[in-house]
Amino acid sequence: MEYTIKAIGLVHSCYREKFGIPRQPGLVKSGTGAIELLAPCDREEMFTELDTFSHIWLQFMFHEAIADGWRPTVRPPWLGGQKRVGLFASRTPHRPNFLGLSVVRYHGLRKEKGGLFLDISELDLLHGTPIVDIKPYVPYSDALEDATSGFVQFAKQKMAVQFSSEAEASCKRYQQEKNRNLKSLITEVLEQDPRPASQRGLQREYGMLLWDVNVRWMAEEKGFTVFLVIPIE
């Protein structure tokens, strides 16, 4: 059986590459973006009353995972990248239909340059991610108090993050120019420790793209130091 689905929107995200994206939504409050709606789903009436909900479910394509295919078992980062579990017991992007599911904070509908956008935050989505469906989050049935979550136990300590004075000054300039709190975004992303499990404990330099900025940081024993924040021309 084969079905065809079409993207109804495209994500504009602060996350410009896979490295650095939080592992689930809700972890980085300063992560922001928007969904640009595509015809025939770019009609305002399709979103009437959606602004009465604080959060929405997004179903989307892990479009940047498709080329790598999928395997029946995966090594989730929760288990230190050592133990394998079945792919359906994980949230890996590498799945038979490459479909993802995230609940994000919803900030409302915006019209810009003839297009229609849904503003969102707390996302875990790459820039350019195709959205295939949108639904309101309804706590009375979606928030399950008695749910258990197997090997996924979220009690992780946050990494310590500090900035060089040069990096701090660049963030300030960026905020004045673009009205985006870049320092909070970088801090929250690094607090989650984006490194793959195999690289924990190494002292080395890393880089990541957030919005139109290249962020360079050093992993040291006691935490991370952001030493350069360079806007990309």
Q: How far is the CB of 17 from ligand SAM (least distance, A)?
A: 9
Of 124, 188, 191, 193, the residue at the interface with ligand SAM (CB under 6 A) is: 124
Of 8, 126, 131, 134, the residue at the interface with ligand SAM (CB under 6 A) is: 126
* 125 φ, ψ (degrees, to nearest 5): -120, 140
Q: How far is the CB of 154 from ligand SAM (least distance, A)?
A: 13
101 binds ligand SAM (CB under 6 A): yes
37, 44 Cβ separation under 8 angstroms: no
- Name the CA dihedral angle for 206, 165, 193, 91, rounded to a multiple of 10 degrees: -90
Of 36, 79, 87, 91, the residue at the interface with ligand SAM (CB under 6 A) is: 91
Stretch that binds ligand SAM, among 67-75, 124-132, 158-166, 176-184 (CB under 6 A): 124-132
98 Ramachandran zone, left/alpha/beta (phi>0; psi -120 to 50): left
Of 16, 30, 47, 102, the residue at the interface with ligand SAM (CB under 6 A) is: 102
Site string for ligand SAM, 16-45 (x = CB under 6 A): --x--x-xxx--------------------
Residue 169 C-alpha from the chain's centroid: 26
Exposed e or buried b for every residue in 89-116, given b needs 16+ CB within 10 A?
Answer: ebbbbebeebebebbbbbeebeeeeeeb
166, 93 Cβ separation under 8 angstroms: no
71 binds ligand SAM (CB under 6 A): no
Q: How far is the CB of 130 from ligand SAM (least distance, A)?
A: 8
Of 28, 33, 62, 229, the residue at the interface with ligand SAM (CB under 6 A) is: 62
The DSSP result for 28-51, as a single string, is -TT-EEEEEE-TTS--GGGGTTGG
Of the candidates 75, 57, 192, the one whose C-alpha atom is nearest the C-alpha of residue 136 is 57
Q: How far is the CB of 123 from ligand SAM (least distance, A)?
A: 9
Of 10, 75, 93, 104, the residue at the interface with ligand SAM (CB under 6 A) is: 93
